[in-house]
């Protein structure tokens, strides 16, 4: 269930209240409420057919068949049947089918229903175009926003009771509409601004407990939910909805929402990957358990709504190496924008740990000018700042002293500190027996052209040198193998 921020009295106040998913509900004349996604059409999960008794009437069959052929909604057909055959109570009954129903009457703009069918309907061998499967894109990252649901009791015209969680999400309450107070001056009731107020139901201290609820036990109160989404290719600023009462379908969808969100850093909105892969909604025939009127368990076969995510899961997992690549490309792009060559090794920009590229003055410019700073994506595992260090003199035989700074963390400060860090890496490589030109070719091959400018590239170079602080010959062999054997 959705934990919603509730306002006192008529929903107005002076303070800001956090709504679901961290959004701030701002108080206005019309009350404080969480932002809602407007809906501009409804796709049905099934159909309605004539009951056995209604099917015995030729007039009922005529009204039903003509209504279906005209694309009218089943509510409209049911109203016409009630007008033509007033003695026929509840003439239509739901039927579980493997396809979805798209009727023009369920859309403020009936043209949208036609567009959906033209794009995604298919004939599966019976000569009838039906909607079996269609792509969707969800407009929010909180699954509670794109699949709202509640326990609700309906009368013929409105909600009578409905469930709602407390602000902390711990207690589920049963709400109803408050009876308008009497005016006491000849009028029957007080004229209410903003409509009737919601209040806790008097029974059971307002707590929603289905096991002790008379309406739920009488099957008058049921779980009701809906998916809210956009459909690729359908130009509508309003979303579409797909109602469902299936606990199994909603529970399975929640599990998939949570799985996708986990792999995408909390996101379920938008396309799933760079190839613009959407979710798909279809149906699957499954066996579900149920308890009959005598309390005996059984299983029935039903077509349930299924949420598909046809994407390679490994492509959704965040690759930390990609952050280094982004940072390096950003540094190289900054050089190009300054009209310099990416192969240039002097006066090159560097990316500091606070996610900013420092651009030195262009050739011929003022050397004492403040460097231009361009923000880039932050490095998650950037090298921590440290004091600049001096390379140690090599011991006889090309071996560095044991107290060589290779074992220390490289500095990650801005400006000159970064330049000293790069110079130290070259000196450390020289101390191990690899000259600057050879090390430059080796490092560029290993970590790309922008390795010196990215904190991540310098960090990897440091990690590459550290294991060889007492093994210069081993490092020379490694560099030779990289440049010659694996060329």
102 — pLDDT class (breaks 50, 70, 90): very high
Check whether 31 has a pLDDT greater than 60: no
16 — pLDDT class (breaks 50, 70, 90): very low
Of residues 118 and 444, the one with the higher pLDDT is 118
What's the pLDDT tens digit per position in 280-296?
999 999 888 777 777 77
Classify residue 301 as exposed, middle or buried by CB count within 10 Å of its CB (0-12, 13-18, 19+): exposed
67-105 in b/e form (b: 16+ CB < 10 A) is bbeebbbbeebbebbeeeeeebeebbeeeebebbbbbbb
Between vectors from CA 123 to CA 119 and to CA 125, what angle results, nearest 5°? 170
Average pLDDT, the chain: 75
Of residues 487 and 13, the one with the higher pLDDT is 487
Percent of the chain with pLDDT strictly greater than 70: 71
Of residues 134 and 463, the one with the higher pLDDT is 134
Of residues 55 and 388, the one with the higher pLDDT is 55
pLDDT at residue 335 in the model: 55
Check whether 229 has a pLDDT greater than 90: yes
Check whether 116 has a pLDDT greater than 50: yes
pLDDT at residue 332 in the model: 56
Classify residue 470 as exposed, middle or buried by CB count within 10 Å of its CB (0-12, 13-18, 19+): middle
Residue with tokens 């790069």: 422
Q: What is the DSSP string of 127-175?
A: S-EEB--EEEBBS-SSHHHHS-EEEEEE-SSSEEEEEEE-TTSS-EEEE
In sequence order, the 6+-apart residues with CB closer than 8 A to the CB of 71 are 103, 104, 105, 110, 113
What pTM value is reported for the model? 0.58
pLDDT at residue 4 in the model: 39
Cβ pair 290, 241 in contact under 8 A = no
pLDDT at residue 280 in the model: 97
pLDDT at residue 234 in the model: 94
pLDDT at residue 355 in the model: 43
pLDDT at residue 3 in the model: 38
Residue with tokens 């299983």: 299
Helix, strand or coil, per DSSP, at residue 290: strand
147 — pLDDT class (breaks 50, 70, 90): very high
Of residues 173 and 397, the one with the higher pLDDT is 173
Number of residues in the chain = 487
Domain ranges of the chain: 320-485
424 — pLDDT class (breaks 50, 70, 90): confident
Interatomic CA distance for residues 475 and 394, integer angstroms? 14
């Amino acid at each position: 269930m959705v934990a919603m921020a509730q306002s006192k009295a008529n929903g107005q106040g002076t303070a800001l209240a956090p709504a679901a998913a961290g959004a701030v509900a701002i108080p206005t004349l019309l009350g404080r409420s969480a932002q809602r996604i407007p809906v501009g059409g409804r796709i049905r999960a099934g159909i309605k057919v004539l009951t056995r008794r209604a099917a015995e009437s030729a007039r009922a069959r005529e009204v039903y068949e003509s209504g279906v052929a005209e694309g009218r909604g089943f509510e409209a057909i049911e109203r016409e049947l009630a007008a033509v055959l007033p003695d026929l109570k509840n003439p239509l009954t739901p039927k579980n089918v493997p396809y979805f129903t798209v009727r023009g009457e369920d859309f403020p703009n009936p043209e949208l229903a036609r567009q959906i069918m033209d794009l995604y309907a298919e004939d599966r061998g019976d000569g009838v175009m039906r909607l079996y499967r269609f792509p969707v894109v969800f407009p929010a990252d909180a699954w509670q926003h794109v699949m709202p649901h509640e326990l609700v009791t309906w009368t013929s015209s409105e909600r009578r009771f409905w469930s709602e969680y407390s602000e902390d999400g711990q207690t589920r309450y049963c709400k109803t509409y408050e009876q308008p107070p009497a005016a006491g001056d000849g009028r029957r009731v007080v004229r209410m601004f903003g409509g009737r107020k919601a209040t806790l139901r008097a029974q059971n201290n307002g707590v929603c407990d289905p096991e002790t609820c008379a309406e739920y036990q009488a099957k008058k109160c049921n779980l009701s939910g809906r998916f809210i989404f956009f459909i690729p290719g359908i130009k509508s600023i309003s979303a579409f909805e797909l109602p469902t009462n299936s606990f199994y379908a909603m529970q399975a969808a929640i599990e998939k929402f949570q799985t996708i969100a986990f792999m995408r850093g909390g996101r379920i909105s938008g396309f799933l990957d760079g190839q613009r892969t959407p979710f798909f909604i279809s149906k699957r025939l499954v066996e579900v358990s149920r308890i009959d009127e005598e309390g005996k368990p059984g299983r029935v076969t039903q077509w349930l709504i299924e949420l598909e995510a046809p994407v390679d899961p490994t492509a959704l997992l965040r690759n930390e190496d990609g952050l280094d690549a982004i940072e390096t490309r950003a540094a190289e792009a900054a050089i190009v924008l300054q009209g310099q060559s990416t192969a240039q090794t002097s006066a090159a920009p560097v990316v500091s740990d606070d996610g900013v590229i420092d651009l030195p003055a262009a050739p011929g410019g003022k050397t004492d000018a403040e460097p231009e700073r361009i923000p880039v994506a932050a490095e998650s595992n950037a090298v921590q700042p440290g004091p600049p260090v001096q390379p140690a003199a090599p011991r006889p035989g090309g071996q560095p002293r044991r107290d060589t700074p290779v074992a220390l963390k490289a500095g990650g400060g801005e400006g000159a500190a970064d330049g000293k860090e790069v110079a130290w890496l070259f000196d450390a490589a020289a101390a191990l027996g690899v000259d600057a030109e050879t090390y430059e070719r080796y490092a560029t091959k290993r970590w790309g052209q922008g390795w010196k400018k990215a904190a991540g590239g310098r960090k990897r170079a440091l990690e590459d040198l550290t294991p060889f602080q007492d093994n210069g010959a081993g490092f020379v062999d490694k560099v030779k193998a990289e440049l010659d054997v694996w060329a």
